[in-house]
Structure 1
């Protein structure tokens, strides 16, 4: 039975996804700690975790917090999960530092630590003396670069004009890598496309919509928008279409979640660099089981990405599409 405190509480959707058939303190469970299941990205990853656990024949329990910014709540949940003494802690930290005290305790207890979706900064881990078992996710710099490549291809490498970048939560390494990858690659491919603003959207759809509206007011000839996740990209879509500029601005997100797929099919969002969270979750559990069985895995495991466009979705022939959830 799970005890949910006020400070560490999780939503009903997350509670329904707490999975365990073993009693507390079982010695063969895997603990999975995510951000918020209100975000389709993490919902898809939770599905992948279940598939990976079923395939590997392991028991697990999964918890998430109320939103992408609930750093303190996530630490509380992490500490509570440690009391069950899992074989491994598979964690998607909200930022590079909030889970460090918990992960240090896990290491001291001989628990394997998995960095889910590359949210932990290697330099910070080294400074804290924390040695994780492996990190799994997409190459976020590459994902950002793929977004830039598609924008340059769509607008033309000789295109000129303003571009907006909407970053993730300040201090989150995942968002930083995506936006850096985008900015660096865009400068190489289409130097005439000038990033006029790069602002933190905090993974929030509403905030991204407000940022977009403000930048559009100041730059009515805006050519493109790159958002570090799909939720923010969809916020940008709302503002662009409300301004009567639907189809005039190339808008690219990252994640490839279900809402983004629908928007792309509807001809609103231009593209999304799919991070395939389902595949990340599945392979995270499978590799953690391999380590628990005495095997070895790479310290850094990168799962492939795919740029989702209307053409690719309409054709439906790419074999990777089966992992887009």
Structure 2
């Protein structure tokens, strides 16, 4: 299969169409992504999605990126509806704001697959299926990693934790925070979470957030970040300030997190592959168009990874 053409969508956003020899049976699937340029996970996801589409002669895909702009993503959804694609995959910029656009696609008879980060529950009736990680479970597992580490260190009755969340309003950020915040008091009831601030999935901003935490609090034993990109930013701030003995736990094990674990400066994370994520989303859309019955929530597994078991996992490519 090959790149056939580069077209300009009505949203003034470049769209890439990938296909093989088009036939009457070709499935035309559109995807609007959250923000490919924000981190290496989303960049790798897009490459894997395109590769999976190119490997399937029955599929043609229109690849769009909202650049983190809700209004642009809504316009892209409307453009895909006007193009009468057979299915739409959306990686939401905001789980609440995109609901009207998802509803329009549903009303037009176009099945919608939500990928990676779900939309708000109010929009579930307009979604054919969700494909991605179980983010609440990821937050739960991160809390368990943190608690187990504190128990190993013998500080589970006195440890203090700060929390750096993802982008406000973003379902993944909300769900991972909820999983962590609900589970930590269950497994380590005497651990105190002393602050929580957003890092917006950005390493530099998270480093600044952590710098402020370090000034404000003399005693920090653990840091939970909604992904490793933010976690490494927080870790860098602590190293620069000479603050030792802090346990760093994240999610979505980025290469930088894996490397920091190998160096002994970062404790644990949740292993998640953007390649699996992308391939699962495309397969879900194809299965729906082939008339297969699918559960509403199609989760792929995301296991715990720490310094103790990281040898069982390959270094992430993102």
RMSD: 2.6
| Structure-2 change in CA distance of 1:55 and 1:299 (3 Å) | farther
| Structure-2 change in CA distance of 1:231 and 1:71 (3 Å) | farther
Q: Is it true that 1:238 corresponds to 2:236 in the alignment? A: yes
Contact 1:276 1:304 in 2 (8 A): no
Q: Deviations over 1:148-200 (max 9, x none)?
A: 11111112173412201112222222211111111221111112220001122
State the match for 1:185 in structure 2: 183
- The whole-number CA distance in structure 1 between the counterparts of 2:12 and 2:149 is 45
Q: Is it true that 1:163 corresponds to 2:158 in the alignment? A: no
- The whole-number CA distance in structure 1 between the counterparts of 2:95 and 2:232 is 26
Q: Is it true that 1:53 corresponds to 2:27 in the alignment? A: no
SS at match of 2:145: helix
Aligned pairs for 1:301-312 (under 5 A) are: 301-312=298-309
- The whole-number CA distance in structure 1 between the counterparts of 2:316 and 2:129 is 22
Q: Deviations over 1:255-279 (max 9, x none)?
A: 1223333333333332221232221
- The whole-number CA distance in structure 1 between the counterparts of 2:293 and 2:54 is 21
State the match for 2:108 in structure 1: 109
Q: Deviations over 1:130-154 (max 9, x none)?
A: 4211011111111011111111111
Which of 285, 288, 296 in structure 1 is aligned with 2:285? 288
Q: Is it true that 1:198 corresponds to 2:196 in the alignment? A: yes
Aligned pairs for 1:1-325 (under 5 A) are: 1-3=6-8, 9=13, 18-21=16-19, 28-38=27-37, 39-54=39-54, 56-57=56-57, 58-66=59-67, 68=68, 70-122=69-121, 124-125=122-123, 130-156=125-151, 158-246=156-244, 248-313=245-310, 315=311, 317-318=312-313, 321=314, 325=318
Contact 2:258 2:315 in 1 (8 A): no
Contact 2:48 2:278 in 1 (8 A): yes
Q: Deviations over 1:52-107 (max 9, x none)?
A: 435554221222133x4x22222223323333221111111011123223222211
SS at match of 1:186: helix
SS at match of 1:106: helix
Q: Which runs of 5+ in 1 are unaligned?
A: none
Contact 1:162 1:219 in 2 (8 A): no
Contact 2:103 2:123 in 1 (8 A): no
Q: TM-score, normalised by structure 1?
A: 0.85
Contact 1:34 1:64 in 2 (8 A): yes
SS at match of 1:175: helix
Contact 1:94 1:119 in 2 (8 A): no
- The whole-number CA distance in structure 2 between the counterparts of 1:91 and 1:77 is 10
| Structure-2 change in CA distance of 1:87 and 1:259 (3 Å) | farther
- The whole-number CA distance in structure 2 between the counterparts of 1:117 and 1:94 is 11
| Structure-2 change in CA distance of 1:232 and 1:262 (3 Å) | same
Q: Deviations over 1:99-136 (max 9, x none)?
A: 223222211221110011132012x215xxx4211011
State the match for 2:3 in structure 1: none
Q: Which runs of 5+ in 2 are unaligned?
A: 1-5
| Structure-2 change in CA distance of 1:56 and 1:312 (3 Å) | farther
- How many residue pairs get aligned? The number is 306
Segment of structure 1 superposing worse, 74-83 or 112-121:
74-83
